[in-house]
């Protein structure tokens, strides 16, 4: 087994041995990058195979990732693996035209209820545009106070190029 590529986010910790230090115990809670040290770091087998809850992650998006939506005004709902609270940051919506709309935690556009966060932009979305949604700084914090991240390019949805027509109205 290649211990240099161990996914430490699911274990209590790793023992990391350095050429310059004897033994250093690291908790690999945030990102898997903690476990991808280059030389002279080497990662030994995990201290314990007991599973613990990984860092808080987004478990569901509404609308779903890659969905084509016919409406131009709707909230985006993030469901997290645990209850979250507001941090200090923004949820950013970047469209095909390069326009960015930020909804920040100091506004009324973000409402948190348990492990759901509902984000409503102040304007309408543009027809025919793809929106990439990502977090700027730390808009959401886990129960332990750690930032929940969403990088640019991981979540997007498309607004239909034709408006929704109701009862034959054009």
Burial profile 12-41: b = 16 or more Cβ within 10 angstroms, e = fewer: bebebeeeeeeeeeeebbeeeebbeeeeeb
The pairing of strands 68-69 and 155-159 is parallel
Average pLDDT, whole number, for the chain?
Answer: 75
* Full-model pTM: 0.65
Range with the poorest average pLDDT among 8-22, 87-101, 149-163: 8-22
The H or E element spanning position 79 is strand 76-80
List pLDDT tens digits, range 48-79.
333 345 689 999 999 999 999 999 999 999 99
Q: Note the Cα 154 to chain centre separation in Å.
A: 8
What percent of the chain stands above pLDDT 70? 64
Output the CA–CA distances (angstroms, integers) from residue 55 to 64, 95, 137, 142, 161, in the order listed.
22, 29, 17, 8, 37
The mean pLDDT value for 124-151 works out to: 95
List pLDDT tens digits, range 138-162.
999 999 999 999 999 999 999 998 7
């Amino acid at each position: 087994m290649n211990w240099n590529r161990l996914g430490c986010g699911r274990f209590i910790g790793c023992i990391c041995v350095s050429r310059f230090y004897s033994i250093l115990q690291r908790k690999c809670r945030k990102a898997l990058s903690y476990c991808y040290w280059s030389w002279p770091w080497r990662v030994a087998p995990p201290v314990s195979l007991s599973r613990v809850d990984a860092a808080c992650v987004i478990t569901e998006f509404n609308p779903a990732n890659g969905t084509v939506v016919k409406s131009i005004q709707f909230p985006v709902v993030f469901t997290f693996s645990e209850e979250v609270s507001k941090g200090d940051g923004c949820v950013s919506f970047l469209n095909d035209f390069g326009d960015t709309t930020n909804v920040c935690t100091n506004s009324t556009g973000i409402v948190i209820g348990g492990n759901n966060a509902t984000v409503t932009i102040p304007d309408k979305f543009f027809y025919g545009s793809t929106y990439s949604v990502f977090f700027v700084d730390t808009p959401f914090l886990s129960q332990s106070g750690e930032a929940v991240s969403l990088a640019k390019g991981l979540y997007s949805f498309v607004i239909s190029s034709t408006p929704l027509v109701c009862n034959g109205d054009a």
